[in-house]
Amino acid sequence: MMLPNRISAKLFIDNPQALQVTAFIPVFHSWIREARVPGVPIDVANYLHVKDGPGLMLIGHAGDYAVDFRDGRAGLLYVHKRDWPGATLADRLHTTLEGLLLGARLMENETRFEHAVTFNTGELELTFPDRLNAPNMPETFAALQNDVRAVFGAFYGTDNLDLIHTDQDERSLLTIAVQAPLAPPLAELQGQLPTVALV
């Protein structure tokens, strides 16, 4: 069974033109100070000087957040990288999604931004930074997609879900676009978390 040890998920920002990235610096620091995110958030790393990079990161022990600009698309990325609470792939996908939705809700509710940040819940990018256990091959996508569909289907509804293996370059990380055109807003998605926690 494929069991990736690192999984990342990214939600794209609806209104990137309104984004003031440097305003996130004190926000991320406050997440550490006020323990707004679980685990061990450690520090803030600023990579805004590189093009289409990880932007601004909140580095943690088990997971990192990033106001991320990879592929030229602004979004919030959460990568869970160790200390998995459960052993199954579904558990791991769920942990990652939970971390992402928590961060996204904190950002949408943040009052210190001049313009509120909102997310497009209809599209999510799932990446597996673990080439040993999840090499970027069609076979891996085929092996993972049932679990992905089960976990994400619990949020979005299985009829409202397309999974696309987006980047076939073997050098790249396995990346799956999770598309759910009829997705509910973020608050509603996050509200479902406790009920799907048993998935």
Partner 1 sequence: MATEKSWKNELEKRMPDVLAREIDVFEGQMALRRQDKLEERVFAETRLRRGVYGQRYDNGQRHDGVADRPLPYPERHLTKGPDTLWHAPGMQRIKVPFGGLSPQQLEVLAQLAEEYSDGILHVTTRQDIQLHYVHIEDTPDLMRRLAAVGITTREACGNSVRNITACPLAGVCKTESFDVTPYADAMMRFLLGHDDVQDFGRKFKIAFSGCEHEACGLTKMHDLAFLARIREIDGAQQRGFTVYVGGGLGPIPHQAKVLYDFLPEEEILSLAQAISRVFARHGEKKNRNRARIKFLVAQLGVEEFLRLVEEEWETLPYDERWTAYLGDVPGYRETPRRPAIALNGAPHPAGFDQWLNTNVYRQRQNGYAVATVHLPLGDITSMQSYALADIARHYVGDTVRTTVEQNIVLRWVSEADLPALYDDLRAIGLGDAGAGTIVDITSCPGTDTCKLGIAASRGLTGELRARLRAEEASLPEVVKELKIKISGCFNSCGQHHVADIGFFGNSRRRNNQLVPHFQVVLGGRWDENAGSYGQMVGAVPSKVVPDVLKAITKRFVEERQQGESFQDWTQRLGKREIKALLEPFTVVPAHEVDPRFYSDWGDPREFTLGDIGVGECAGEVVSLFSIEVSRAEGAAFDALVALDEQNLAEADRGAYRAMILAARALVRTQFLDVGDDPDRIVEEFRTRFYDTKLFFDRFARGKFAEYLFKRHEAQPAQVTADSVKQLVEEAHLFIEAAHACDARIANVVANPIQIS
Write out the residues near partner 1 by the rule CB under 8 A: 6, 25-26, 29, 32-33, 40, 42-54, 57, 59, 61, 64, 70-71, 81-83, 129-133, 171-173
CB of 106 to partner 1, least distance (A): 17
Which residue's CB is nearer to partner 1, number 54 or number 99? 54
CB of 83 to partner 1, least distance (A): 7
Which spans in the chain are helix H?
Answer: 24-33, 89-108, 138-156, 186-191, 193-196
Which residue's CB is nearer to partner 1, number 82 or number 115? 82
Angle of CA points 185, 89, 76, to nearest 5°: 35
CB of 142 to partner 1, least distance (A): 18
Q: How many CB atoms lie within 10 A of CB 7?
A: 26
CB of 113 to partner 1, least distance (A): 15
Which residue's CB is nearer to partner 1, number 44 or number 189? 44
DSSP string, 46-99: EETTSTTS-EEEEEESSEEEEEE-GGG--EEEEEE-S--S-SSHHHHHHHHHHH
Q: What is the DSSP letter of 170?
A: T
Which residue's CB is nearer to partner 1, number 51 or number 159? 51
